[in-house]
Amino acid sequence: MAQILFENGALLDPAAGELRPGTSLLVEADRIVEVSDRPIRAGSALRIDARGRTLMPGLIDAHVHATITTLNLAAMQGRPATLVAFEAGRVLEAMLHRGFTTVRDAGGADWGIAEAVRRGLVKGPRLFFSGRTLSQTGGPRSDAAGLCACQIHSNGFSHVADGVPAIRKAAREELRRGATQVKIMASGGVASPSDPIWNLQYSMEELRAIVEEAEGWRTYAMAHAYTPEAISRAVEAGVRSIEHGNLIDRATAEKMARKGAYLVPTLVTYYALDEFGRKLGFPEASQRKVQGVLDAGLASLEICREAGVPLGFGTDLLGETHEQQSREFSIRAQVLSPAEVIRSATLVNAAILNRSGELGVLAPGAKADLLLVDGDPLRDLTLLEGQGKHLAAILRDGELVVNRTDA
């Protein structure tokens, strides 16, 4: 089997938030097989001198939308699926070159795109996909659905379903198609023009039914929710991963901590929409909503950190703003330490994905997803920005996707 040996690097340990200098690391096929502070013998391996650079786990983005390829959401309705698939492939490839070796798609991507990545047809990150989101009538992504005699109205992004039987059927359909988790729209949204942020969506009975279906497949539900009321209801129903959560308060954060729920903030998308949304055709009604959540985002990080809620790392960028993905690091650095931000994008996200010990860590037996960084990200988080220009090497599943070293 092919081997790659990194020698004399500084290994970044996200759990401890420190570097371990003089570390060598051996990759064989798609796994890390040895990590040592002594020289490793591997006669046939490709040898890469990591001296002066940092070895760190590949990054994980737990909230992306690879198939939303333009901010002009009305135009997305008529975009051919074949075109979207090609565009999504380019979006994913760019993510990998920024150092994101794993992503969780929060609505839109399906088994076909994940399989294209697995086969190497798309050189992108490993993809955990939700398939179509579950939305009630009048909820996010349901504006174009209209009324029909059927129980479920589906488009490329959502199942609009009301009532427990329809909800169960919609969730089962996505799980049958291979969804690695189920996505619920549990409150009003920013991108949807007709429902206010404070709108509570789905009854407790419906929420519990979705969670039950996910658990039946040994997975979990994630929920789009902004307000304390929406977050509290979702967590009470058993939702494991709350998305966005900008308006969370202390009491709700403490409830999340007690229930063992995760929060995946997505701050960069609001900055990007505020700056570029109008120019790129984002709906005006949605643009006005951005201001209602933008300023609260940083405060939500502090509230959750103090309450003991594990913070994941997400971006939620749409269309032409995908290139701002790594800006999430510097936004969070306004209130969190570099070690905390890196931990979110590695260890915490791996736990959310139920892949602790396999992703987000450099240890024997873990997937060979790693970055070789020119410098120390614990001192300078901007090394993880710049569209990957500070990454001397990127491995995903043991494949050397980027190699700017002399090896």
Residue 378's pLDDT band, with cuts at 50, 70 and 90, is very high
Q: Residue 392 above 90 pLDDT?
A: yes
pLDDT in tens, 92-109: 999 999 999 999 999 999
The rounded percent of the chain whose pLDDT value lies above 70 is 93
Average pLDDT rounded to a whole number, residues 197-225: 95
Going along the chain from its start, the domains and CATH numbers come out as 3-58+358-403 (2.30.40.10), 59-325 (3.20.20.140)
| Pick from 213-227, 282-296, 311-325: least confident | 282-296
Specify the pLDDT at position 75. Answer: 84
Average pLDDT over residues 253-261: 98
Do 6 and 52 contact (CB within 8 A), yes or no?
no
Return the pLDDT at 72: 83
Neighbour tally for 41: CB within 10 Å: 9
> Which residue type sits at 89?
G
> Which neighbouring-strand residues pair with 371?
56, 394
Query: Strands, E, within 247-350: which ranges?
Result: 262-264
Q: According to the model, what pLDDT value does residue 146 have?
A: 47
**pTM above the 0.85 mark?**
yes
Enter the tokens of residue 158: 């959502």
pLDDT, tens digit (0-9, with 9 covering 90-100), for 142-181: 444 444 445 778 777 889 999 999 999 999 999 999 999 9
Is residue 222 within 8 A of residue 128, CB to CB? The reply is no
Per-residue confidence (pLDDT) for residue 73, from 0 to 100: 79
Task: Report the range of poorest mean pLDDT among 8-12, 39-43, 191-195.
Answer: 191-195
Taking only the tens place, the pLDDT of each residue in 183-198 is: 999 998 776 666 777 8
pLDDT for the residue 137: 87
**Mean pLDDT computed over every residue of the chain:** 92
For residue 1, pLDDT beyond 80: no
pLDDT at 139: 63
- Is 43 in contact with 5 (CB distance < 8 Å)? no
The predicted pLDDT at position 285 comes to: 64
CA 17 to chain centre: 21
From 365, 376, 358, select the one nearest 60 (Cα to Cα). Answer: 358
Q: Would the pLDDT of 199 be above 90? A: no
Cβ–Cβ under 8 Å, residues 302 and 311: no
Q: Which spans in 177-249 are helix H? A: 204-216, 228-236
CB 272 within 8 A of CB 324: yes
Give the span between the Cα atoms of 108 and 114, in whole angstroms: 11
Residues, the chain: 407
Residues 6+ apart with CB under 8 A from 237: 204, 207, 208, 210, 211
Cα of first residue to Cα of last residue in the chain, in angstroms, is 18
Minimum mean pLDDT range among 45-54, 267-276, 394-403? 267-276
Q: Which residues neighbour 181 within 8 Å (Cβ) at sequence distance 6 or greater?
A: 104, 128, 130, 214, 219, 220, 221, 222, 241
Q: Give percent above pLDDT 90 in the chain.
A: 81
Nearest residue to 341 (alpha-carbon basis) of 327, 324, 357, 322: 327
State the angle between helix axes of 81-97 and 111-119 in degrees (0 to 180), rounded to the nearest 10.
50
> Which whole number is the average pLDDT over 396-406?
95
What average pLDDT score do residues 315-342 get? 96
Query: Rounded to whole angstroms, how far apart are CA atoms 153 and 162?
Result: 10
The per-residue pLDDT for 144 is 45
d(CA 225, CA 242): 7
Cα 105 to Cα 11, 315, 368, distances in angstroms: 29, 11, 21
Cα distances from 316 to residues 181, 268, 288, 300, in angstroms, run 16, 8, 18, 16
d(CA 73, CA 51): 47
